[in-house]
Amino acid sequence: MNGYLGVSTSALGRRWVGPGDEGDRRIQAMVQTTRLPPAVCAVLVQRGVPPEGAEGYLTPALRDLLPDPMVLRDMAPAATRLLAAVEHNQRIAIFADYDVDGGASAALLLIWLRQMGREATLYIPDRIDEGYGPNDAAMAALARDHDLIVCVDCGTLSHGPIAAAVGADVVVIDHHLGGETLPPALAVVNPNRQDEASDLGHLCAAAVVFLLLVDCNRRLRAQGVKGPDLMAMLDLVALATVADVAPLTGVNRAFVRQGLVVMARRARPGLVALSDIARLDTAPTPYHLGFVLGPRVNAGGRVGAADTGARLLATDDAAEAQRLAERLDTLNTARREIEAAVREAALAQAEARGTDAPLVWAAGEGWHPGVIGIVAARLKEATNRPAVVIALDGDEGKGSARSVPGVDLGASIQRLAAEGLLIKGGGHKMAAGLTVARDKLEPAMARLAELLARQGSGTDGPRDMRIDALLMPGAVTLELIEQIDAAGPYGASAPAPRFALPSVQILSSRRMGETHLRVSIGDGMGARLDGIAFGAFETALGPLLTDPGAGALHLCGRIEINSFGGRRKAQLRIDDAARA
């Protein structure tokens, strides 16, 4: 089948797929109605935005998109109990997951309570010694010393541990898929409860915590009391939303958009220290949240003290923030080294098993449980398939799984647990965790592949390169890029738009380091555009772009603003190329 611009096999072996005739007609209709540039209209059409909704989409207001917290079941008793604990100066404990979402959720509560004049105990379980979620011993111990335990980003399936919290009330604020029955908690606020009627299943746990605090502030306001400034806390909600790979649509998009504005003000000591140690010298973007800050916050839970990330996000002390940021940066370096070894072994195993099946998986003896989630994400990205990576230890294996859009991984893993093929398992659509007996590993993965195949996993190949529209080098201006950025932020379920530049010439090229390449692109009519291809010489892309006899090329990639050296210039981040 011919590809877009006739590219069926590019330098990277991809087939290019464009908008098609119907897509082009819708783009032109959008242009005529809105008078926006065709490239911006192409992005809006791809997002399913109607012409009459273009202006509102480009300038989203959180107040218009924020749902009423009371649409969530158990929100009323949860807010009532939290406010009662504040009013009566009761002892509060926060039990959180060890990832970014759990850490940000805990930090939101710690900061809100501190501003209300109350302190809380933070408890985050050790990934290796205690595993994910509440456990009997920890909950029983917390219950002896506290009146209220709030479980965030965990707890929905923790029937036994919550029952063990004798003498304390337990409130669960979560987003992981619920089972047929709920644990014996005072309240379980979770948009992914089976009996939940709201359409908020795309929220991460920190967003659900934020809605709880919105309701608490509303109740305080009705009493004539001014609550803490919640808008100033949206940087934490944005960080969690991106790091937990929640879809950047609807209110999530508004959370991240506004949260990035808050983060750019550099008012949170923990994020300032972490940004500085990571040498982040530009305004934060979703990329920075997901790939620069998020992994460092996560590092404590993966290979160090589990509560380090949450403490960093919650602190208002700059000196403590600096110490914690340095510690997390060191742990992140160690995490990368451990991850590299596991990733290499897992990828080799998955390739030997075959990567065209509905599921890609690997299991290894002694693999560090703290990096298997990242490795699963790498396998998923390399194969465009749901991936599971399992660390085997004795008679059991602990696994982490990542999915692709359109495939509900969490539901399938939960079903596997219900069928007895897993010791336990759960999560949400895009990510999940599991524990499996060694002797059931093969049948469990076979059954999981079968369940995922029923959802269509394995039908899309990794070869297709999706392109939103054509663009000529002369049209790529700073103003256009800013207009396209206004249709963001981009991330999960809202990928950054990719444009094709047809029949252009490489006017000059300069190698950067061992693998990267910077080029100057011309259209034959005087227009020029800078381009950069990261990792070009690790693939066939570098040799093609530097071949003096290549002639005219089709290029595709993402347009962005390069602010290096204080000068703002438009450039194309090259993803692929083909001979014209």
Q: Look at residue 573 in the predicted model and tell me its pLDDT.
A: 96
How many whole angstroms separate alpha carbon 418 and alpha carbon 516?
48
- Please state which architecture CATH assigns to domain 354-454: Roll (3.10)
CATH fold for domain 69-329: inorganic pyrophosphatase (n-terminal core) (3.90.1640)
pLDDT value, residue 406: 83
| DSSP E strand stretches across 405-549 | 424-427, 431-437, 464-466, 469-470, 499-512, 516-522, 528-533
Q: Is the preceding omega at residue 134 within 30 degrees of 0, hence cis?
A: no
pLDDT at 460: 60
Which pairing describes strands 121-123 and 169-173: parallel, antiparallel, or unpaired?
unpaired
pLDDT at 461: 54
For position 389, what pLDDT does the model report? 97
Position 207 scores a pLDDT of 98
Contacts of 112 (CB under 8 A, 6+ apart): 213, 216, 227, 228, 230, 233
Q: Where are the domains of the chain?
A: 4-14+467-579, 69-329, 354-454
- pTM of the predicted model, to two decimals? 0.88
CA-based nearest residue to 298, from 257, 265, 252, 336: 336
* CATH tag, 4-14+467-579: 2.40.50.460
Predicted confidence pLDDT, tens digits, the chain (580 residues): 678 999 999 999 889 999 888 888 999 999 999 999 999 999 999 888 999 999 989 988 899 999 999 999 999 999 999 999 999 999 999 999 999 999 999 999 999 999 999 999 999 998 888 888 999 999 999 999 999 999 999 999 999 999 999 999 999 999 999 989 999 999 999 999 999 999 999 999 999 999 999 999 999 999 999 999 999 999 999 999 999 989 998 999 999 999 999 999 999 999 999 999 999 988 899 999 999 999 999 998 887 789 999 999 999 999 999 999 999 999 999 999 999 999 999 999 999 998 888 999 999 998 998 899 999 999 998 888 899 999 999 999 999 999 988 889 989 999 999 999 999 998 888 889 999 999 999 999 999 999 999 998 766 655 688 999 999 999 999 999 999 999 999 988 888 999 999 999 999 999 999 999 999 999 989 999 999 999 999 999 999 999 998 899 999 999 999 887 778 999 999 999 999 9
Q: What pLDDT does 426 receive?
A: 87
What confidence score (pLDDT) does residue 566 get?
76
DSSP state of 147: S
> Which residues pair with residue 245 across a beta bridge?
none
Q: Is 354-454 the same fold as 69-329?
A: no
Tell me, what's the pLDDT at 1? 62
